[in-house]
Amino acid sequence: MSIQIDHQLREFIPHSVNEFPITYFHDELITLTDLAGPLHWHPDFEIASAVCGTLDYQVGGEHIVLQPGDSIFVNGNMLHGIKQLSGDVADPMPNIVFSGTLLAPESSTVYRKYVLPILRSDMLPFVVFRHDDPSLCEINRIINDIYKNMSEMQIGFELAVQRNINLIFEYLNYNFDLLSKTQSTRIQMNNQIRIQKMLLFIYENYGNDVTLRDIADAADVSRSEAGRCFQTYMGCSPIDALIDYRLQMAHQLLNEGAQSLKEISYACGFNSVNYFSRRFKLKYGFAPSIYAKMGK
């Protein structure tokens, strides 16, 4: 299942809070152009793991490189995205997204004492569990056991999963003072909101004529501030982000094979087929006409 986001860049998570509020994903990267997922967020916690490739997990403005065997815990409401950096095939990247109510009801003492402090922490946007750290062997074993139980769904799997999630939160709470902290990510929440608004504008208007002023106006900031936000979160200018998204959409349309190059070019906001072809070749290594003939 590919990442599905709404008009606020919030990911749609298909689990029921009233039933068993955890969802297991895998093989998402293979459905994503360039093996990269868009920046998005959700109120739930997330745990993801690299299996065979090297992954770049972006949380806020930080990039965390995950080697095979590494896992990451991402706090709720954090803007994050994923890109595979190495490997000839898409990494399975097993991951779970779950509500804190999996541990206990929001009105309970357990939730207030052990879930809410993590969720509200200004200094804990993520925690990395390295595969080569002997002190984290048990946590990584627990995470893999969660994936196994969620995948197989044998009788009683819910009990095993809930037990393991509790063990992870025991670790987070007992070791909170020892965990690496990131002070800046949540302090710069306003910038996160700004980049969400500007990315949303790009996603909704990429097929139209769009200027830097238009993108900046979407977040009510100056053009220079828009540039700083994009450099922090995207590592590029707003216009480069716009062009990159147009090329991703063109890539998808070429896969569908229902439109001509000219139609795709104009549908994706390129007013020149030649310019579109040059940018496509620069990004993907071959012209869109060749890509279309390859039938990919």
Nearest alpha-carbon partner for 95 in 20, 25, 145: 25
pLDDT at 40: 84
pLDDT at 7: 52
Fold assignment, 188-294: Arc Repressor Mutant, subunit A (1.10.10)
Pick the CATH number of 22-185 from 2.60.120.280, 3.40.1280.10, 1.20.120.450, 3.40.50.280: 2.60.120.280
Calculate the average pLDDT of the chain: 89
Instruction: Compute the Cα dihedral for 200, 190, 120, 143 and give only its sign.
Output: positive
Ranked by mean pLDDT, the top range of 32-46, 96-110, 187-201 is: 96-110
Summarize pLDDT for 197-212 with one digit per residue, the tens.
999 899 999 999 999 9
List phi, psi (to 5°) of 168: -65, -40
Domain boundaries, the chain: 22-185, 188-294
| Integer-rounded Cα radius of gyration of the chain | 21
pLDDT at 193: 83
**Contact of 37 with 87, CB cutoff 8 Å:** no
pLDDT at 1: 46
Instruction: Give the pLDDT mean for 257-277.
Output: 91
Q: How confident is the model at residue 246 (pLDDT cuts 50, 70, 90)?
A: very high
pLDDT at 242: 96
Its pTM surpasses 0.85: no
**How many Cβ atoms sit within 10 Å of the Cβ of residue 21?**
17
d(CA 234, CA 215): 14
Query: Are 22-185 and 188-294 in the same CATH fold?
Result: no
